[in-house]
């Protein structure tokens, strides 16, 4: 069965500092990996995805993620954090399930950017 | 273009009652998925529909059911509500590409259910 782990419930970072939100996954076959962000009282919004190719994926709002196959990780990064980046971040993986593709989400990491 | 619309946004029910939530996907999207979000459990997959057929189902009791109509709109129903059903219910739609797992999900704002 596929799974996603986000080991940190919360990450605190000072504004202007680089940030990393960690994600590891387990899936059979080649993974499709995603990051979504959720602001208060909103649904999730797509940030970026990895399908194949370059291990460094660039997404919305200056975020990027690095795919590491040997470590089965897909960490989300940003060079300089903004207060407005404070939100709940979800990592997700898509894998085969009964002939179709099934999405599994991590438990989420709350990012707090401190002014 | 219009996003994913979920109604109602907020509702309060009492134990034993039933509730129906509605989701209108983005025009042209044929896949609709439902998730339950709670602080302790994160996002739990309920079920996915494509062309009026349930393709996948999560590990929820039979009190949770859903359906999809020919216009891709979807409803989910929870019968005999329990306190533990209090949660944010999220609907997501995607543009299905056969055999592809790379579909991006577009989420609605959710329906927040409180069971008293």
Q: Model confidence at A97, in pLDDT bands (50, 70, 90)?
A: low
pLDDT tens digit string along A24-81?
Answer: 999 888 889 999 999 988 889 999 999 888 899 999 999 999 999 999 999 999 999 9
Q: Taking an 8 Å Cβ-Cβ cutoff, which residues of chain B contact chain A?
A: 4, 6, 33, 35, 41-43, 45, 48, 55-56, 90, 92, 100-110
* pLDDT top residue among A31 and A101: A31
* Buried/exposed code over A64-99 (b: 16+ C-beta within 10 A; e: otherwise): bbbbeeeebbbbbebeebeeebbbbbbbbbbbebee
What percentage of chain B reaches a pLDDT higher than 90?
73
Of A43, A90, A94, Cβ closest to residue B101: A94
Residues of B in contact with A98 (CB under 8 A): 55-56
Return the pLDDT at A95.
77
Of A41, A49, A108, Cβ closest to residue B102: A49
* pLDDT top residue among B116 and B101: B116
CA distance B91 to A8: 26
Please determine, for residue B81, whether its predicted confidence score (pLDDT) is greater than 90: yes
Q: Model confidence at B101, in pLDDT bands (50, 70, 90)?
A: low
pLDDT tens digit string along B63-77?
Answer: 999 999 999 999 999
Return the pLDDT at A93.
92
**B104, A95: Cβ pair inside 8 Å?**
no
Please determine, for residue A17, whether its predicted confidence score (pLDDT) is greater than 80: yes
CA distance B46 to B59: 7
Average pLDDT over residues A92-106: 79
Return the pLDDT at B98.
46
Hey, is the C-beta of A100 within 8 angstroms of any chain B C-beta?
A: yes
Cis peptide before B8 (omega within 30 of 0): yes
Of A41, A96, A105, Cβ closest to residue B43: A105
């Amino acid at each position: 069965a596929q799974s996603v782990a986000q080991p940190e419930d919360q990450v605190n970072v000072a504004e202007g500092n680089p940030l990393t939100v960690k994600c590891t996954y387990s899936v059979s076959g080649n993974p499709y990996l995603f990051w979504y962000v959720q602001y208060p009282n909103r649904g999730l919004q797509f940030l970026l995805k990895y399908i194949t190719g370059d291990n460094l994926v660039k997404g919305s709002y200056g975020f990027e993620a690095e795919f590491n196959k040997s470590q089965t990780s897909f960490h989300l990064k940003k060079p300089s954090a903004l207060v407005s980046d404070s939100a709940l971040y979800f990592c997700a993986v898509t894998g085969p399930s009964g002939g179709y593709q099934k999405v599994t989400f991590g438990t989420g990491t709350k990012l707090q950017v401190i002014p | 273009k219009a996003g994913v619309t979920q109604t109602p946004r907020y509702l309060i029910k009492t134990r034993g009652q039933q509730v129906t939530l509605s989701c209108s996907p983005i025009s042209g999207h044929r896949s609709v998925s439902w998730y339950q979000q709670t602080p302790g459990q994160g996002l739990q997959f309920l079920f996915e529909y494509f062309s009026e057929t349930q393709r996948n189902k999560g590990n929820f009791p039979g009190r949770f059911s859903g359906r999809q109509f020919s216009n891709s709109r979807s409803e989910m129903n929870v019968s005999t509500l329990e306190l533990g059903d209090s949660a944010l219910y999220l609907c997501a739609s995607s543009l299905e590409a056969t055999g592809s797992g790379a579909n991006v999900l577009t989420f609605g704002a959710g329906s927040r259910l409180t069971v008293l």
